[in-house]
């Protein structure tokens, strides 16, 4: 994961080069070194609250629809 953080915050081709925040869960793969490498790349790591059941419900609904073959609406309205 340390190499992933380095690659993601690379100033030339990193996926997070134009972002200020990265939301992630509290999995053990996101260690303190991962967070510090993000911080070095000017990206603040924000850990999601523990045991938050509904944080991923929208994404799970979309995946469920795709698996069933139901057309989903493209574009999100917040």
pLDDT, mean of residues 30-49 = 89
Q: CA torsion angle for 13, 11, 36, 24 (degrees, to 10)?
A: -40
**pLDDT reported for residue 44:** 92
pLDDT, mean of residues 10-14 = 86
Q: Model-level pTM?
A: 0.60
Average pLDDT, rounded, for the chain: 80
pLDDT level of residue 75 (50, 70, 90 thresholds): low
Give percent of the chain with pLDDT exceeding 70: 82
């Amino acid at each position: 994961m340390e190499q992933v953080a380095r690659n993601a915050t690379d100033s030339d081709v990193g996926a997070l080069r134009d972002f200020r925040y990265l939301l992630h869960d509290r999995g053990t793969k996101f260690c303190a070194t991962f967070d510090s490498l993000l911080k070095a790349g000017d990206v603040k790591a924000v850990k999601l609250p523990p045991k938050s059941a509904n944080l991923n419900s929208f994404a799970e609904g979309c995946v469920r629809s795709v698996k069933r073959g139901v057309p989903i609406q493209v574009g999100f309205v917040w």
